[in-house]
Amino acid sequence: MTRFKTLGQFIIEKQAEFPFAKGELSRLLRDIGIAAKVVNREVNKAGLADILGDNGTENIQGEGQQKLDVFADKEFIEALSNGGECCMIASEEHDECIRINTQVSKNAKYIVCIDPLDGSSNIDVNVSVGTIFSIYRRKNFDNEVSQEEILQQGTEQVAAGYIVYGSSTMMVYTTGKGVNGFTLDPSIGEFCLSHPQMKIGQDPHMYSINEGNYAHFPQGVKDYIKYCQQIDEATNRPFISRYIGSMVADLHRNLLKGGIFLYPATASYPNGKLRLMYECNPLAFIVEQAGGKASNGKSRILEIQPQSMHERTPIFIGNIEMVEMVEEYLIRGVKQPVNTVL
């Protein structure tokens, strides 16, 4: 029987790629992995313990918090605070950043942006949910860490990843040296390397979007959806529509099989709905490292200069050809661009 390399072993092995880190980044990724195991344990108890349903509170976005939102947020903050490698956390569940002022963390080098439980509204019906995280290096050590240090472009990320809690639990991450996936082996309690050097599926025939909002989409997005639905044997169309409603789950499927995830601006969310810092930037980093592309319809997601911690943006993410075609539809505003061959 083949013995899989564990996440801890893999991180230590790759530590030499970051000589400036001196082990801190490795320990930080380890801490995230430990918290993910705890959250996974609770997710798997859904229906057996009092962890389902509305918590009766709202996050800063005005969205109702599920009990598991609050639990996951607490676990990740606790793990990152106790680990000593993180000086500040930006979480979807908090209005302001969380400064870690423990003795062990005062000189920590890293800032973490995190969505503790993406798609949590689906947990009651046993649909896959996930965690998304992004890691930045602190720039200024002369003064106390400030919220402004969070507002770095996505190109400045030193690592990013997600954990998907589904039929199996997987952690997928990148440090800018490719993308690797680890599956949790419950028999030994370890994440084991199962998907080395992941590349986005090269037979893209899938699009993921909430078509219930079709009437509110920009015309270019409507036209692109019509294009995807047209029958064309040369381009293997019509494409398959698959939408789970949990961004991590949708993106994970498209990463493995090939496709595009679209979340455009609408009348209700003219600036887009998904958050740049702890949803779009980390997933864009992963997809680009896997050979794909991420755009807001006009420019590269990773090059957007954030203005606030909870800034929102439209996002089109997946195979390069599919994303570029959406951009063309949006920019040209015509139903059939010059080149419609994928």
- Return binding residues: 92, 115, 117-121, 210, 243, 273, 279
Residue for token pair 């005062």: 106
First to last CA, the chain: 41
User: Which residue ranges make up the annotated binding site for substrate?
Assistant: 118-121, 210, 243, 273
Helix pair angle (320-332, 219-229), 10° resolution? 130
Which residues make Cβ contacts (< 8 Å) with residue 123, sequence separation at least 6?
43, 46, 52, 66, 68, 117, 129
Q: How many CB atoms lie within 10 A of CB 197?
A: 11
Q: Are 128 and 166 in contact (CB under 8 A)?
A: yes
C-alpha–C-alpha distance, residues 280 and 296, integer Å: 10
User: Which residue ranges make up the annotated binding site for Mg(2+)?
Assistant: 92, 115, 117-118, 279
Taking the mean position of all CA atoms in its chain, how far away is CA 261?
Answer: 12
DSSP string, 59-122: -TTSPEEEHHHHHHHHHHHHHHHHHSSEEEEEETT-SS-EE---GGGTT--EEEEEEEEETGGG
Instruction: Please confirm whether the linkage preceding 204 is cis (ω < 30° from 0).
Output: no
